Structure 1
């Protein structure tokens, strides 16, 4: 059966629903760790609750791409929104009745993290289906803008509710945001042309074959290989930014509230990056923007090593976040344009796992190097920044400059 093309109103409804869903992600970012602290003061448990998204990636990162490519990605989106609505509603009910245990909270948090991974992978494919090439970059920028805003607003709203004794309310609002997203998806899905693919749940042998197929494709396209290597090196080096709180408190002697302001400046920079990505790419070309933004990111990280005041550290942190988000938005668009639709889920999930794999190593390297330098992180920031900028320039010379933008 054929279906009418989605109108601009339906496209706006889709983006609006995703903005609300992302607000839910921002609320959960702080609500779950705070809820854990109400029932346990164990630092390991607290860290696990804060790392629920990373744990979700480890659980379903690879099969997520296979499932999205084999199943109808719209069904995956709606199923994950429905699941998260139920999960956070259950967590609200357990908290309200005093039955929320550490084990229950962690199980729900990691399950919700896994749902987020599946949802985010399917979203890449659906955005490619909905938006033609001229609007693809704008759509990715809009979604990224909502994501960055949620990271800035969500924890603030949750912290305010917690201060007023309404932490449970944040959980309920979280559930409602995913319900709103589900309704918007259902409304837009009816306007999408093409047949509905029946669910074809893959066997284990099929899944391993599909993962290998996605990896082979990624390795067969020179541009994707270079971009993946560049992003892995960048992620490895940007682990140094996890030392920003240590740098601010221990090296610069800033107060806890001042360090919080530094973190907020990263959110502001991310919002600016989401707003500027599309205009910059239209004027100068997508690949040039990716490389220039990564060079700018490396320069900003190196500049952190020279920061001596709150203002200079805020400026460098904001500039780094702007550059990272700008490069990420355009890089995501490039991948959507290059990769065939049938392989997009697998290539996306495989790439993300590669980026994530180097992050713990980066934390160990940068933390260990700082300790070896007697607790002075400034040389580590400088080295990381130089490596990031040099890697982007090497990628440009290795073949990114030859890719049509």
Structure 2
């Protein structure tokens, strides 16, 4: 198995670990405390991790060798789940310790995701870059379906400890594959700086990445705002995330308006996971042959259609299919935007620009979630008008972004993408 395939294999296993953690930690807290409130809080460490590590992750990844950040983050997450397995074996472990360890794993995950963006750019060029991003997003979507199911099987067959040890094992596999890939990479030149990715040579960073973490984060934010190409695709992603806040209403809609059972509610939600995986696969397969901006706009318009179909769904099956379309179109946009950002942003700035963009998009998503909840309450707990309004909002705001910013930079992005298609492909 060559280095690039080994790397993708390791990341698919790592993403499965993320999917396992979605259910493993809340179930552990529920088992130890019996409290549904504390169990719900156990699902929060990932969000808390972004709040803690979102600002410093980008600058620190840019300062350091991102491949070593990946290795360190995997080691931390592996250690956390080994300690959690030990906590199960030791009765009376305080739940605060478990939640604290989960927050550490969440923060390590933020560093990992930021460094992964840079590492993928190091490893793949040309058409392979979008294919790699599509593969990773597909694996991430499938992990959200397979991870919780795997936890359930492991707990039934061998107990909570087995599920936590399996989670630790996924990060161990990722660590080994990242390390082996890292050892094979040559010295590479990026935008006037020398970044050494061989294990026996020191890392030399350009002077532009030195300074305080806060100042470096703001420099990434300043680049994001002042670069027309990056600003336009980030604004488009933020706008769609604002509208996608309505997506969180799907379980409520299925339960309260369609009178669905718990199993059917799960079916409606699972449609999104399956659709997301298919959308990422489509982006990976078709992306290298399509111009990125038209592909991105097509994805956004299909998202608007998906939101409208969700609002008009007469039953759970139609809701599941509409959710699949919505999630699939969303994944197409995510893969295209991530690939464009990796291609356009100078490599020494990629970590901090990525973390700044992600913070911006997450903030828009949080605002969208709160607004859609409030609007649903104002509509008498009827989410149908909210879904339809979100569809109109996404379509109209996308047209405004195109007219105001994206239309002027579309040709530049397409030309840049074509030049990258002709770039030599790394092994």
- TM-score (norm: length of structure 1): 0.94
Contact 2:29 2:95 in 1 (8 A): yes
CA–CA distance in 1 between the matches of 2:34 and 2:86? 22
The SS at the match of 1:305 is helix
1:362 to 353, 362, 368: 368
The aligned counterpart of 1:117 is: 110
The aligned counterpart of 1:4 is: none
Q: Please tell me whether residue 302 in structure 1 is matched to residue 308 in structure 2.
A: yes
Q: Matches of residues 1-400 of structure 1 in structure 2 within 5 Å?
A: 9-164=2-157, 166-194=159-187, 195=196, 196-198=201-203, 206-400=212-406
CA RMSD of aligned residues (A): 1.9
Higher mean C-alpha deviation, range 333-342 or range 202-211 = 202-211
Contact 2:230 2:345 in 1 (8 A): no
Higher mean C-alpha deviation, range 282-291 or range 319-328 = 282-291
The aligned counterpart of 1:3 is: none
CA 1:340–1:203: 2 relative to 1, 3 Å? closer
CA–CA distance in 2 between the matches of 1:133 and 1:30? 37
CA 1:146–1:205: 2 relative to 1, 3 Å? same
The SS at the match of 2:380 is coil
Q: Once the 2 structures are TM-superposed, how far is the Cα of residue 281 of structure 1 from its aligned partner?
A: 2.3
Alignment gaps of 5+ in structure 1: 1-7
The SS at the match of 2:42 is helix
CA–CA distance in 2 between the matches of 1:29 and 1:220? 37
Alignment gaps of 5+ in structure 2: 188-195, 415-427
Contact 1:296 1:389 in 2 (8 A): no
Q: Once the 2 structures are TM-superposed, how far is the Cα of residue 45 of structure 1 from its aligned partner?
A: 2.5
CA–CA distance in 2 between the matches of 1:61 and 1:293? 27
Q: Once the 2 structures are TM-superposed, how far is the Cα of residue 216 of structure 1 from its aligned partner?
A: 1.3
Q: Once the 2 structures are TM-superposed, how far is the Cα of residue 162 of structure 1 from its aligned partner?
A: 3.0
CA–CA distance in 1 between the matches of 2:17 and 2:92? 23
CA–CA distance in 2 between the matches of 1:192 and 1:270? 32
Higher mean C-alpha deviation, range 204-213 or range 145-154 = 204-213
CA–CA distance in 2 between the matches of 1:184 and 1:88? 19
Higher mean C-alpha deviation, range 34-43 or range 211-220 = 34-43
- TM-score (norm: length of structure 2): 0.89
Aligned length, in residue pairs? 397
Higher mean C-alpha deviation, range 34-43 or range 73-82 = 34-43
CA–CA distance in 1 between the matches of 2:74 and 2:362? 24
CA–CA distance in 1 between the matches of 2:35 and 2:323? 31
Higher mean C-alpha deviation, range 93-102 or range 214-223 = 93-102
CA–CA distance in 2 between the matches of 1:203 and 1:228? 22
CA–CA distance in 1 between the matches of 2:204 and 2:43? 33
